[in-house]
Structure 1
Amino acid sequence: MPARPEQPNVTLHHDVYPGIDIGGRLKGVARGKIVYITGASRGIGASTAHAFALAGCSGLFITGRSLDSLASVASSVRSSLPEDLAKGLSIETDAVDVTNREAVGESVKRCVEKFGRIDILVANAGYVEPFSNIADCDPLGWWKIWEVNIGGVFNLVHHAAASLVKSNGHIILVSSVGAQKRSPGASAYQSSKHALNRFAEFVHLEYGGQGVKVFSLHPGAIVTELSSVEPSVRPNLIDKVELASHTMVRLSSGSEDWLSGRYVSSNWDLDELAQKRREIEEDDLLKNRLDVGSLV
């Protein structure tokens, strides 16, 4: 029996579509929200800061390893906004290494002290090295992928959970379609993202009843400094970065709260996915699971 497909039968998008258009359907949906973003100094993180600002958030707390890069992002965000949105937006920058648990805790504390709460938490910081088979790879590099992709996310959720419970907030964990793949040389990256999907399930299990919503999101196949590390994947990177950032705005708008605790791809048409809601909920789909097939 062939393996079951790991993609739902919905339209696939590679750029912004009407369902995630911040200038249309999603206009103003983040109004008044406080958004904390890791890995915001470039690429998907920077685009996410732009998207939430355009959607009307009142506070952006953006973090990364370089204050200069974050300052550049903050300036770019502010200069791109209409005057009314720019006046209503406060942006704070913070240099922090997500693998440093104490530093992450202090960063979250600074955000809450500045803005009073966190409404939306975007765990975007990630790490990958060029693909290498297990016996040939650098063990320290292999483990660093886990330290960032899992340890860094744990540190962030560990410290921010209390604030998110108070705000009935949203968490977006930036995962990868690689979580569903098994590619030679990618054992560290793909297994870390697979574990991230399961971690989202645990966050939902432990905090969903207290109002927290969490999604493990494949951002799309996007050219970034991170994705360009492995040359073999470069031909597949065909998606626009705004596909990811606009999808995050929709996921945190409240319309997709029923998907909390699940893996979602930015490529999937969310309106078509919503038409399959009953099936997804009844069969508890879009979660990590051992498929025993006909052995049932």
Structure 2
Amino acid sequence: MSKNQPLKGRVAIVTGAGGDIGYATAKAFAEAGASVALLDLHAVENADAMFPIACDIADPAAVEAAVDKVVAKFGRIDMIVNNAAAETPLGTVCDIPLESWKRTLDVNLTGAFLLCKYAIPHMRRQGGVILNIASQLGHVTTPGRAAYSASKAALHSLTRSLALDHAADGIRAVSLSPGAVLTSRVTRQAGGEEQAVAALAPLHPIGRIGTPQEIAATALFLVSDGAAFITGTDVLVDGGYTAR
């Protein structure tokens, strides 16, 4: 296997691939030699020779069909990255609309469950890696983030179960928990890039917020052979946020 293309010959599925972290991760995998399927609610444009599939990750039939398309095109699945996350309004459990709560869990948690459910039977043939993109807010939380934090904490637990249940299949399961990252969603929610940096950078001892490329670089390591002894755990990439 080429040192410059450590994922050559492998096939990955990345959900939420139209977002900044998802696309950066997919691109990093492709540059490392992987064939990459980009799953998003709407087919990703400008896919850079990757394989875009429109898929509502919360819809069981859509997820199963997407997995079938990937196997039909590439013949195998080696890696899945459960990155899709619903945009959830701030609010306490008293304030959050029930539909918003349900949609957050359906996308962030059940979506990961569904992709694992349909992809793992194909991964068992040769082993592989499940990478769940969680959050530092799955370890700690802030006011008004009940739905989001609960979904991400559940991803940590699901990761551990997947690691135990499928170790004998040669499948590793790891979660990656970013701190605040300068994405278009964060920028929009903060009212602009300067506002996002001003509000969030001081919360990170490292003195800044992360970039999608930094999260992608860690994701690439975690699915590579260099991380072959890492499973059933969470990797924080949070600039020291949770160390405060």
> TM-score band (shorter)?
0.7 to 0.9
Structure with higher RCO (Cα < 8 A, 6+ apart): 1
Deviation per CA, 1:85-112: give whole Å up to 9, x if none. Answer: xxxxxx3211000000011001001101
Alignment deviations for residues 137-190 of structure 1 (CA, whole Å, 9 cap, x no partner): 212112211111111111110100111111210111000000011322111110
1:251 aligns with 2:222: yes
Question: Which runs of structure 2 are paired with 1:171-210 in the superposition (5 Å)?
Answer: 171-210=130-169
Which of these two proteins has the greater Rg computed from alpha carbons? Answer: 1
1:49 aligns with 26
Question: Structure 2 unaligned runs (5+)?
Answer: 202-208
Q: Distance in 2 between matches of 1:38 and 1:174?
A: 10
| 1:98 matched to 2:75 | no
SS class of match (1:221) = coil
Q: Deviations over 1:189-229 (max 9, x none)?
A: 10110011000011011101210011111134212244346
Measure, in 2, the Cα distance between the counterparts of 1:56 and 1:177: 29
- For the pair 1:241 / 2:206, whether they are aligned, the reply is no
Count how many residue pairs are aligned between Structure 1 and Structure 2: 227
Q: TM-score, normalised by structure 1?
A: 0.72
Percent sequence identity over aligned pairs: 28
Distance (Å, rounded) in 1 between the aligned partners of 2:142 and 2:17? 28
Superposition map of 1:116-265 within 5 A: 116-228=75-187, 230-231=189-190, 234=196, 235-236=199-200, 238-265=209-236
Contact 1:243 1:267 in 2 (8 A): no
TM-score by length of 2: 0.86
Counterpart residue identity of residue 39, structure 2: T
The residue number in structure 2 matching 1:66 is: 42
Distance 1:186 1:219 in 2: 16
- State the Cα RMSD in Å: 2.2
Task: Give the partner amino acid of 1:71.
Answer: E
Q: Secondary structure of the residue that 2:115 maps to in structure 1?
A: helix
Distance 1:259 1:188 in 2: 28
The 8 Å contact of residues 127 and 226 in structure 1, kept in 2 or not, is answered as no
| 8 Å CA contact retained: 2:179, 2:239 | no
Do the aligned partners of 1:119 and 1:168 also contact (CA within 8 Å) in 2?
Answer: yes
Query: How has the CA–CA distance of structure 1 residues 101 and 113 changed in structure 2, closer, same or farther, with 3 Å as cutoff?
Result: same
Q: Distance in 2 between matches of 1:172 and 1:125?
A: 12
Deviation at 1:259, TM superposition (A): 2.0
Q: Which whole-Å deviations, capped at 9, do the CAs of 1:44-81 have from their partners, x for residues lacking one?
A: 11111210111122x111111122xx132x13xx5xxx
Task: Tell me if structure 1 keeps the 8 A contact 2:89–2:96.
Answer: no
Contact 2:159 2:233 in 1 (8 A): yes
